[in-house]
């Protein structure tokens, strides 16, 4: 009887192994086609049916990594490492999850323990990204108000560790009517995934020679960012004769470059208040991405006087819907959107925007032309950056 049962047991074991192999192959094939939801479902089935399988649990962790669910993937890789501290596949996966989520310190520690070319390259990339750097740029803006502005800026930054960045920016602008303003800003960004904090303080000299301090604070947890910022309002002719600012409280939820939802409350320097909300979504089709956006803006009191905004822009019950198309080829990218909108003062209008950018090594240039409810504007920027 034993001679009969042993072959049967062996055949059952082989059949089960083949079934696991088939599940893993199917999940990998789905992931290769970027069908991650289906790949996750198959990988979960493999873990359920074969709970002792290291390969099934490793694949599920990798699928979560490829989906961008870095915190979940990291915990799954860590669970495998708790069972076997020498599991190089799990160690490399955990390092990737840390790297892609922005936890460079932990990623560097784990990559250093993996003897693979990919790990050594990632470790070198982290070290290169943590080097101090600089940038310089120039921009020009004109619209049919008429309004013109030109600016020059320089920035320098350094890291006190791979997760804490310090930066100082200086900008000088020349605006319509030969007015000038200048800003010096110091800010720091510290990341402790999944939490990151960005804080800064700017000192601005307005065109009327008044000097103000502008604070900034943003806290991000996973995909959600809560921010407070005091910003200057220098995009209207009348604003150049005063020192208009707005305090902004905002919440933004963003998933990679696919979906964003944003809400904002504005309190202007003269006591006026405004609100804004919007959302956009994009879906890739090869190198092209298609999508749509919605936007709503309103202000308690209008500052539209004698056909111009004095001293800042105050949309009244503005509604917009746009279609979006974007594409990128190597170092060149283009973006276009257009749609329909309505504003209480301007009535119905058709907003649109076309933008293009090109970068080569350390040099970049971009140009944009856009139309809103009240005016059409053109903007061009160029810059160069490097590392010390």
| DSSP SS3 for 259 | strand
Are 102 and 79 in contact by the 8 Å Cβ rule? The answer is no
CA–CA distances in Å: residue 245 to residues 236, 268, 298, 342: 12, 6, 17, 26
Which two tokens mark 241? 């004769």
pLDDT tens over the chain, length 388 residues: 545 544 554 444 444 455 889 999 999 999 999 899 999 999 999 999 999 999 999 999 999 999 888 989 999 999 999 999 999 999 999 999 999 888 888 899 999 999 999 999 999 998 888 899 999 999 999 998 889 999 999 999 999 888 899 999 999 999 987 899 999 999 999 988 788 999 999 999 999 889 999 999 999 998 899 999 999 999 888 898 889 999 999 999 998 889 999 999 999 999 999 999 999 999 999 889 999 999 999 999 999 988 889 999 999 999 999 999 999 999 999 999 999 999 999 999 999 999 999 999 899 999 999 999 988 999 999 999 999 8
Distance (Å, whole) CA 51 – CA 98 = 25
73 and 188 assigned to the same domain: no
Distance (Å, whole) CA 237 – CA 232 = 14
Helix (H) or strand (E) holding 174: strand 164-175
Q: Last residue of a domain, which of 98, 129, 160?
A: 129
338 and 206 assigned to the same domain: yes
Q: Please state the domain count of the chain.
A: 2
Tell me the CATH number at 155: 2.40.160
Burial 78-110 (b: 16+ CB within 10 A, else e): eebbeeeeebebbbbbbbbbbbbbbbbbbbbeb
* Burial class of residue 319 (count of CB atoms within 10 Å of its CB; 0-12, 13-18, 19+): middle
Which pLDDT score is estimated for 68?
Answer: 87
Q: Last residue of a domain, which of 79, 106, 129?
A: 129
Which pLDDT score is estimated for 3?
Answer: 54
Question: Could you tell me where the beta strands, DSSP code E, fall in 176-317?
Answer: 179-192, 195-205, 211-221, 224-232, 245-255, 259-268, 273-285, 288-299, 304-305, 308-309
CB atoms within 10 A of CB 117: 7
Instruction: Report the candidate in 236, 246, 298 with the shortest Cα–Cα distance to residue 268.
Output: 246
* Burial class of residue 58 (count of CB atoms within 10 Å of its CB; 0-12, 13-18, 19+): buried
Which pLDDT score is estimated for 61?
Answer: 96
Distance (Å, whole) CA 333 – CA 167 = 27
91 and 195 assigned to the same domain: no
104 and 150 assigned to the same domain: no
43 and 111 assigned to the same domain: yes
Tell me the CATH number at 70: 1.25.40.10
Instruction: Report the candidate in 356, 353, 352, 354 with the shortest Cα–Cα distance to residue 334.
Output: 356
22 and 150 assigned to the same domain: no
Q: Last residue of a domain, which of 114, 129, 144?
A: 129
122 and 158 assigned to the same domain: no
Distance (Å, whole) CA 59 – CA 64 = 9
305 and 264 assigned to the same domain: yes
**Contacts within 8 Å (CB) and 24+ apart, 304-307:** 304/345
138 and 98 assigned to the same domain: no
Are 57 and 86 in contact by the 8 Å Cβ rule? The answer is no
| DSSP SS3 for 25 | helix
Boundaries of domain holding 185: 133-387
CA–CA distances in Å: residue 178 to residues 151, 240, 241, 378: 13, 10, 12, 19
189 and 234 assigned to the same domain: yes
306 and 163 assigned to the same domain: yes
187 and 224 assigned to the same domain: yes
């Amino acid at each position: 009887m034993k001679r009969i049962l042993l072959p049967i047991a062996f055949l059952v074991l082989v059949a089960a192994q083949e079934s696991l192999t088939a599940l893993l192959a199917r999940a990998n094939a789905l992931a290769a086609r970027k069908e991650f939801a289906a790949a996750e479902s198959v990988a979960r089935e493999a873990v359920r049916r074969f709970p002792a399988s290291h390969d099934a649990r490793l694949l599920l962790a990798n699928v979560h990594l490829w989906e961008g669910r870095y915190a979940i993937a990291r915990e799954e890789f860590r669970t495998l490492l708790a069972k076997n501290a020498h599991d190089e596949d799990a160690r490399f996966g955990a390092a990737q999850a840390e790297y892609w989520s922005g936890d460079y310190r932990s990623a560097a520690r784990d990559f250093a323990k993996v003897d693979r070319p990919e790990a050594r390259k990632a470790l070198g990339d982290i070290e290169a990204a943590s080097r101090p750097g600089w940038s310089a740029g120039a921009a020009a803006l004109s619209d049919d108000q008429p309004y013109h502005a030109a600016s020059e800026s320089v920035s320098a930054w350094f890291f006190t560790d791979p997760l804490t960045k310090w930066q100082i920016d200086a900008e000088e602008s020349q605006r319509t009517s030969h007015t000038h303003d200048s800003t010096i800003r110091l800010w720091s960004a510290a990341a402790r995934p999944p939490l990151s904090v960005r804080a800064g303080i700017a000192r601005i000299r307005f065109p009327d020679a008044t000097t103000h301090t502008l604070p900034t604070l943003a806290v991000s947890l996973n995909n959600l960012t809560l921010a407070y910022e005091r910003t200057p309002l220098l995009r209207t002719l009348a604003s150049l004769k005063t020192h208009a600012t707005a305090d902004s409280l905002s919440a933004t939820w963003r998933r990679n470059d696919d979906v964003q939802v944003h809400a904002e409350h504005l309190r202007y320097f003269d006591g006026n208040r405004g609100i804004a909300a919007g959302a956009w979504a994009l879906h890739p089709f090869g190198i092209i991405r298609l999508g749509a956006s919605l936007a709503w803006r309103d202000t308690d009191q209008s500052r539209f006087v004698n056909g111009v905004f004095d001293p800042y822009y105050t949309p009244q019950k503005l509604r917009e819907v746009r279609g979006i198309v974007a594409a990128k080829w190597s170092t060149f990218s283009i973006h276009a959107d257009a749609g329909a909108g309505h504003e209480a003062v301007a009535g119905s209008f058709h907003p649109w925007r076309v933008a293009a950018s090109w970068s080569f090594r350390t040099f970049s240039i971009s140009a944009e032309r856009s139309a809103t409810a009240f005016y059409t504007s053109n903007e061009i920027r160029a810059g160069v950056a490097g590392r010390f």
